[in-house]
Chain A
Amino acid sequence: MTTNDENSAGLSRRDFLKISSIAASVPLLTGPKTISVDGQEVVVHGPGPVPVALTVNGKRLTGQVEPRVTLLDALRAHFDITGPKRVCDRAECGACTVSIDGRAVYSCTTLAIEAQGKEIVTPEGLGEGERPHAVQSAFVNNDAQQCGFCTPGFTVAMKAFLEKNPHASDAEVARGLAGNLCRCGTYRGIHGVVAQMAGRAPKGNAGTTIIAELGTSAKGGA
């Protein structure tokens, strides 16, 4: 790490001090250390768990997480927020996409400790309360999903994409949504989502769907 600004590792000096004081009161935890590298001060966290506070979907969540843990794994394993999916775990597929301060980000290549102090929105928090976001409804209307494992990440990426490109052309879609991968092959429906959100006439077969808000009437298992 070469940067030495206040936000290295995504932590402000103030947060760092705050965390240090918490860490000091919790035995078995390794608090952040400052070491000198190449004449510069570098903050080293861990290797043991450190206290982490995240703001997710408007709620403040706190826990003990090793510094090497990604935001994705922290959300899924520590806070049971499982909308972001782990698929490639190395920024190739987009299934883990969340919004951080309004930007679509791969949470598999963001450390949990880096995401502190920022507004994180997962697919679960895209809509308002129980009401889905219009993008999420459009995924249903256009049947832009099959197994659905890529879908939550796609919805977050789509929302961010449409905010920048409300009237995206097919070429812009091809480039702007190329960071998300679907194996079942739902891209045609995803083009339909863009068209619907942009108010364009739906292509091909879309538009005759019987819309049924059936979210809770089919339940697997117990």
Chain B
Amino acid sequence: MAPTDKYSYPSPEQRDYIGRRMARVDGLPKSTGRAKYTYDYNPKGLLYGAFVRCPHAHARVKSIDTSEVEKMPGVKAVEVVQQPGSEIHWAGDEIVAVAAVDEPTVRDAVRAVKVQYEELPHLVIDSDEPPRNLPPDTSPLSLDDLQGLARNQVPGAQVVKEINERGITFKPEEASLDRIPPDIANAIKSAKQKPAEKKAPSWYKPAAAETQGDAEAAFRAPDTVVSEGIYGIPVIVHCCLETHGAVAEWTDNDHLLMHASTQYVSGIPGQMAEVIGIPAANIREVQENIGGGFGSKFGPDRWGIYSAKLSKRAGGAAVKMMLSRAEEFAVAGCRPSAYARVRVAAKKDGTLTAWESFGWGTGGPGGGGSPPIPYLIRDRIPNYRTQWTAVVNNIGPARAWRAPNHPQACLITMTALDDLAHTLGMNPLDFFKKNVELTGPRANIYMDEFPIADELMGWSKRWHPRDDKTPAPIKRGLGLSMHTWGGRGHQSECDLTIQPDGSVTIKIGTQDLGTGTRTAIMAIAADTLGLTPQQINLLYGDTQYPPSGGSGGSTTIGGVSATTRRAAVDARDALFAKVAPTLGATAEQLEAVKGQIRVMGQASKALSWKDACAKIGGVPINAHGKNLGGRDPLMNSGVGGVQMADVSVDTETGVVKVNKMVAVQDCGLIISLETAESQCYGALIMGISYALYEEKIMDRTTGQMLNANLEFYRLARIGDIGELVVKMMVNKYDSRGVIGLGEPPVVSPGAAISNAVANAIGVRVPMLPLTPERVLAALRGAQKGESA
């Protein structure tokens, strides 16, 4: 049990809202269509912006002619984004930006811009296995290389290692050292400066092999059972229903008002100031609601920058630049793919001994990050050897996608381990339990969760060895997976004001992605002040309020909860000090309960909230809340979750249907139970979607995406989800504090569903999504294998 202080979250019996199913505060504005999103801002005199986009996957801009467009009636501003000579690395990249009086006119204008290109060779396929023995790139890193690593979320420690080993080609002062993590900045400062090396262009960037113990020896050890396979998960697209975009407006000559659709309200000014050429303090970002982000909306992007530039050129009139659905598919973010050839070994009793993998994947021009393989057990499995080759290609840039790298690492690891369990003749649940200590500090959480999932799914009663022996063509199977995520709260600040008339206002610069952030803030403030949420006024989503970090990495709930709690406790205690003399008690003897300030243990010695606040005097109470970062006991990191899937597979058509999924999930202390459960249900559905349907399909010849619409890029619909069961670990790990939840439950579904399909039909379908074509191909492969 963590030591408690006055800021500790209230105990379960003192909670009216925390940890309970409180309806989301943003519910009615959304369901009645009144909630406003970036797409919905229609300021007076609004202009519409759009981009001329490169139709080629790899090309050089030869010439741009905007003369005709500038004369078109209704066109108000034209800006060249990439000048002649620029090399373009993906189809759909922005070349020219145009603003006009309405949308039909701007679409016409975009068509009238004349751009000539020199086409260059492209690569848009990533599933072909790269050559094995390419030498790792040891050439010194350019600034571009470093930005590529950052774009692809390569872990800081790995970036530092690369800088130390490879050196740099630029002067440290050329990098904005104050804007990057200190460990990387220090590595840059102390790095060897070397001349840039002429590199032969290559689609492949192999990384050096990483090893632990002696994998080769472990595979050769006597009485060892080995399983081999190839596994993979393709590039998928975020598909935010509100496309990326922004509305920009100059309120005077040097003040910019932005409505960017963003997961990082407080960060927009700092990311725009330099390129727009005004101080960040002169830029204000306001966002009420966001129609989906999933990791793809952290920066202002070209549309944010060019809406502002076009607005400036048009005399300050507001410019709305929202991507079309096809543009969204082409340029606004891919989740990197991951494929791997895996060998994995255990002793006959099921004890895991060794892992070996050769993996590759792409995140477009940057190559993509390297998933933490083998997932969960990497730190503790005695022997492993992993190699990773990034495929640098022309499919468009990668963006973080809900739990970056984890769904890929989980899919590759948990399917390979499931195949090993099958080779061992073990029930996978027994196999995972047997090796659970390899997961380290969360082993106890998984062990708590396994029996709950078992019971909810009926695993132990219903599980059968691979290959459902029922004679009917429809086979049924069960699969499981497990996952983790960090999720420590980010920096967040707020102001909580109590007025002498009793009204309460919270100002916080955070954003609510629909995850329940507003509801959680309300629950904490209400329980701390002894009020109902209706008595609290919450102002958020504006850079005029105290800053919060970006909503990525599941860091929001921990950050805003601790901050709100600290501000509310301080404000409440200041109020106690004001009313203590009236109640004939000391401030320490008071409590705020059910709309009253009263003496603990003496319910009759009480003042109503309103009467208590009348004692404040003329100046309102204001408390500034700021969490303590990494040392704040109100938040923590590292969750555990177990998921199970039950599927039916039609072996004649190859169609997979999810019958049921079970998710058992820990996130420390749960603040808003209903929205926490909704995160898990949503993650299961998103998981069903990427397990069965989603794939960014590229055309080898044209380099274009073939399914850039919501008909042929299929997402799960209401009939595709089966029965979903979510069990949150309520009141079980409260003392750990609050931990983020948005990402972890989306990590496991792909692996759990793939394992269930293998259990049903007796063979592994190696690649997601598990389309009818792939299922039938796997079944045909198995038949051939049997007859050979």
Contacts and interface: CB of A to CB of B under 8 A. Distances in A.
Interface of A: 66, 68-69, 73, 76-77, 80, 82-90, 92-93, 95, 122-124, 126-127, 132-133, 136-137, 139-141, 143-152, 155, 171, 173-175, 177-178, 180-191, 204-205, 208-222
Given A185-B681, A210-B21, A218 B540 contact: yes
B190 interface: no
B31 A89 contact: no
Given A189-B681, A209-B22, A77 B102 contact: yes
Highest count of chain B CB atoms <10 Å: which of A80, A175, A178, A215: A215
Contacts of A139: 27, 30-31
A200 B674 CA distance: 20
A53 B253 CA distance: 39
A147 B512 CA distance: 8
Interface stretch (B62-70, B238-246, B410-418, B731-739): B238-246
A137 B518 CA distance: 18
Given A132-B32, A152-B30, A220 B23 contact: no
Given A219-B539, A220-B512, 18 more contacts: A132-B28, A137-B28, A140-B27, A143-B24, A143-B678, A148-B291, A149-B37, A149-B292, A184-B682, A185-B682, A185-B683, A191-B718, A204-B725, A212-B25, A214-B23, A218-B537, A219-B537, A220-B286
B397 to A, nearest CB: 20
A137 B74 CA distance: 43
Contacts of B291: 85, 147-149
A149 B322 CA distance: 15
A205 B710 contact: no
B717 to A, nearest CB: 5
A89 B324 contact: yes
Nearest to B35: A148
Given A80-B42, A93-B241, A183-B686, A147 B287 contact: no
A88 B42 contact: no
B471 interface: no
A209 B23 contact: yes
9 contacts: A124-B33, A132-B31, A147-B292, A149-B242, A152-B33, A185-B689, A187-B718, A214-B522, A217-B522
Contacts of A132: 28, 31-32
B28 A140 contact: yes
Contact of A148 (B26, B39, B243, B686): B26
Interface in B32-71: 32-37, 39-40, 42
B542 to A, nearest CB: 5
Interface of B: 17, 20-37, 39-40, 42, 102-104, 239-243, 286-292, 294, 322, 324-325, 512-515, 518, 522, 532-534, 536-542, 544, 674-675, 677-679, 681-686, 689, 709-711, 715-719, 721, 724-726
A211 B542 CA distance: 27
Contacts of A182: 241, 685
Highest count of chain B CB atoms <10 Å: which of A66, A124, A141, A149: A149
A204 B715 CA distance: 25
B28 A136 contact: yes
Nearest to A87: B241
Given A145-B514, A149-B37, A214-B522, A136 B685 contact: no
Contacts of A183: 239-241, 292, 294, 686, 715
Contacts of B538: 217-219
Highest count of chain B CB atoms <10 Å: which of A148, A204, A212, A217: A148
Nearest to A89: B325
Contacts of B322: 86
Contacts of B23: 140-141, 143, 209-212, 214
A140 B682 contact: no
Given A140-B28, A143-B675, A148-B26, A185 B718 contact: no
B33 A83 contact: yes
Contact of B710 (A85, A92, A212, A219): A92
Contact of A147 (B102, B513, B544, B715): B513
Contact of A151 (B31, B325, B515, B682): B31
B25 A218 contact: yes
A180 B720 CA distance: 13
Contact of A219 (B288, B534, B678, B686): B288
Nearest to B718: A187
Contact of B718 (A93, A190, A218, A221): A190
A88 B710 contact: yes
Given A92-B709, A140-B23, A212 B534 contact: yes
A76 to B, nearest CB: 7
Highest count of chain A CB atoms <10 Å: which of B239, B292, B716: B292
B695 to A, nearest CB: 16
A87 to B, nearest CB: 5
Contacts of B17: 210
A211 B17 CA distance: 11
Contacts of B717: 174, 178, 181, 187
A192 B544 CA distance: 39
A214 B487 CA distance: 28
A214 B103 contact: no
Contacts of B512: 220
A87 B325 contact: yes
A57 to B, nearest CB: 10
A103 B148 CA distance: 50
Contact of B325 (A88, A185, A210): A88
A95 to B, nearest CB: 6
Contacts of B325: 87-90
B240 A217 contact: no
A185 B716 contact: yes
B24 A221 contact: no
Contacts of A83: 32-34
A148 B288 contact: no
A92 B325 CA distance: 11
A108 to B, nearest CB: 10
B514 A88 contact: no
Contact of B42 (A82, A146, A211): A82
A149 B726 CA distance: 24
A133 B36 CA distance: 19
A76 B40 CA distance: 8
B533 A185 contact: no
A87 B328 CA distance: 10
A205 B725 CA distance: 9
B541 A220 contact: yes
A136 B32 CA distance: 6
A172 B325 CA distance: 29
B677 A127 contact: no
A172 B226 CA distance: 48
A187 B685 contact: yes
Contact of A218 (B518, B542, B726): B518
Given A87-B241, A122-B33, A222-B542, A148 B710 contact: no
A186 B678 contact: yes
A218 B510 CA distance: 12
A210 B519 CA distance: 12
Highest count of chain A CB atoms <10 Å: which of B32, B537, B684: B32
